[in-house]
Amino acid sequence: MFSPGKIIAVHISYESRAAERGRRPKAPSYFFKPTSSVAASGDSVERPAGTELLAFEGEIALVIGAEARNVSLEKAWSHVESVTAANDWGLYDLRAADKGSNVRNKGRDGYTPLGPELIDAEGLDPQALRVRTWKNGQLVQEDSTDGLIFSLAHIVADLSQHLTLHPGDVILTGTPKGASVAQPGDTVEVEVDAPDRGVSTGRLVSTIVEGEDSFDPELGSVPQVNDLQREEAWGSRDAAGLPAAGPALSPELKAKLTQAPVAGLSQELRKRGLNNVAIDGVRPTRPGQKLVGTAKTLRFVPNREDLFKSHGGGFNAQKQVFDAVAEDEVIVIEARNESGSGTLGDILALRAQTRGAAGVVTDGGVRDYTTVADIDLPVFTRGAHPAVLGRRHVPWDADLTIACGGATVQPGDLIVGDDDGVVVIPPALAEEVVDAVLAKEAEDAWVAEQVKAGAPIEEVFPMNQQWRTRYEAEHGRA
């Protein structure tokens, strides 16, 4: 059994993993794992009762052999004594409160199996090591250190400028693409080898079992999952069994939607059989603002004191959404048309604006109403209310299908708002609908000109065949 003084893990280090996650770090970042999480090959890994997202990550582990403090990149590898296989297990159900520290989700007993054999680092080419992972006998991960964003020596040298690495310390060097979820009864195996030398660690074997322990909400964080966590744990929306995300909001589509009035969009959606896409009862805090973006959803449930105690404080679902919203996203909040409490205030509105959010739509209330209205962020709400969440709401979960103002909203739906209200547009229909609206707007503008010039309403609104022929001739559609 390994007995390291400390275990340090790298967040994202492989190009393939960065591409899979859609974000590439400019510098390595790290977290600690407790030594109590160390396990051996053949040990079981427990998924706690009531959880669903236990994820494996096959990795190369470095074992430090000589003290390293402020070592150069050229000398860093000489401080590595040996290499072995590791599986950096994590429970995504507990990620929410960790904020990158990974204490809860990756620090559990048995969540750092190492072994089974050590490979002497002397004579190894650190750019030619391979890591492979099998789930139930099927190869699911394979990459080499040639595909690292930061070389193994780079990681050692970087860490040594921040802290002293002692003999026996272990560095988990990140996982390539293909990490995913395992279920009770599954077996996951990881092997590290040097194909050019013909040496291997052998397969590090872990079998997943269902645990019996549960979590006491009186003591701290409890498991929470949403579709974003499912997507990241499984590796993709498809692997997680989630519907495909809608197309990104292109600059061209955004420009067209910005020109299109909500009333016209509603009319064209109704022509296509969509009568229930208006978010009822919400109005802009500042008249005259246009809202265009893709939905990022947040759900509040009715307040219940015990649930507010477990879910309402700390880095709760509400704060997570406002802290993670991306450019061109609209935070859409399900508050059950309950405006007897605020669902956001000035601080959260400022955070959303700073992150480049397109706006916020809530079928609940807004605190600090005047200040929020002065922030350059479109906010649509049922009205002002001074109370905080706990009066009516518990922030519960995010990135899932919700109901807002009587309309169903899914993550990635297009949200458009103006002084007439807010509509939800399925991404697959957006181009067709907005093109029809803009064509109709051009036609209506021409009709208005004819009415101003004296044309009779009976003939031009709607246009009879004579006026239609004239219009199409003038616009090159004859």
Domain boundaries, the chain: 7-234, 251-431
| Helix (H), strand (E), coil (C) string for 283-352 | EECCCCCCEEEEEEEEEEEECCHHHHHHHCCCCCHHHHHHHHCCCCEEEEEECCCCCCCECCCHHHHHHH
Q: What was the pLDDT predicted at 245?
A: 63
Q: What was the pLDDT predicted at 56?
A: 98
Q: What was the pLDDT predicted at 225?
A: 85
Task: Measure the CA–CA gap between 225 and 241, rounded to whole angstroms.
Answer: 14
Structure tokens belonging to residue 145:
């250190």
Task: Measure the CA–CA gap between 303 and 343, rounded to whole angstroms.
Answer: 12
pLDDT tens per residue across span 313-359: 888 999 999 998 999 999 999 999 999 999 999 999 999 999 999 99
Task: Measure the CA–CA gap between 66 and 47, rounded to whole angstroms.
Answer: 36
Q: Beta strands 329-334 and 291-302: pairing type?
A: parallel
Phi and psi at residue 215, to the nearest 5°:
-115, 135
Q: What was the pLDDT predicted at 242?
A: 82
> 220 pLDDT band (50/70/90 cuts)?
confident
Phi and psi at residue 184, to the nearest 5°:
-55, 130
Q: Higher model confidence: residue 95 or residue 184?
A: 184
Structure tokens belonging to residue 277:
């896409």
Task: Measure the CA–CA gap between 13 and 424, rounded to whole angstroms.
Answer: 38
Task: Measure the CA–CA gap between 21 and 32, rounded to whole angstroms.
Answer: 21
Contacts of 278 (CB under 8 A, 6+ apart): 266, 405, 406, 407, 421, 422, 423, 424
Residue 367 is assigned to a ligand binding site: yes
Task: Measure the CA–CA gap between 114 and 41, rounded to whole angstroms.
Answer: 7
> 401 pLDDT band (50/70/90 cuts)?
very high
**Closest-CA residue to 170 (of 110, 85, 105, 234):** 85
pLDDT above 50 (res 411): yes
DSSP-derived secondary structure letter, 26: S
Beta strands in 160-290 (DSSP E): 170-172, 180-181, 187-194, 199-200, 204-210, 278-279, 283-284
**Closest-CA residue to 289 (of 424, 422, 423, 418):** 418
pLDDT tens per residue across span 68-89: 999 999 999 999 999 999 999 9
Domain 7-234 part of CATH 3.30.300.180: no
CB 58 within 8 Å of CB 133: yes
pLDDT above 60 (res 246): no
Q: Higher model confidence: residue 405 or residue 311?
A: 405
Residue 188, phi-psi category: left (phi > 0), alpha (psi -120 to 50), beta (remainder)? beta
Task: Measure the CA–CA gap between 119 and 62, rounded to whole angstroms.
Answer: 10
Structure tokens belonging to residue 72:
């150069």
Q: What was the pLDDT predicted at 275?
A: 93
DSSP-derived secondary structure letter, 376: S
Residue 348 is assigned to a ligand binding site: yes
Task: Measure the CA–CA gap between 393 and 298, rounded to whole angstroms.
Answer: 12
Task: Measure the CA–CA gap between 416 and 277, rounded to whole angstroms.
Answer: 11
Residue 254, phi-psi category: left (phi > 0), alpha (psi -120 to 50), beta (remainder)? alpha
Q: What was the pLDDT predicted at 249?
A: 87
Q: Coil, strand or helix: which one is 128?
A: coil
Q: Among the ranges 129-143, 245-259, 449-463, which has the highest mean pLDDT value?
A: 129-143
pLDDT tens per residue across span 135-193: 999 999 999 999 999 999 999 999 999 999 999 999 999 999 999 999 999 999 999 99
pLDDT tens per residue across span 282-302: 999 999 999 999 999 999 999
251-431 is classed in which CATH architecture?
3-Layer(bba) Sandwich (3.50)
Residue 347 is assigned to a ligand binding site: yes
Q: For all residues of the chain together, what is the average pLDDT?
A: 93
Q: Coil, strand or helix: which one is 218?
A: coil
Q: What was the pLDDT predicted at 478?
A: 47
Structure tokens belonging to residue 456:
């009779």
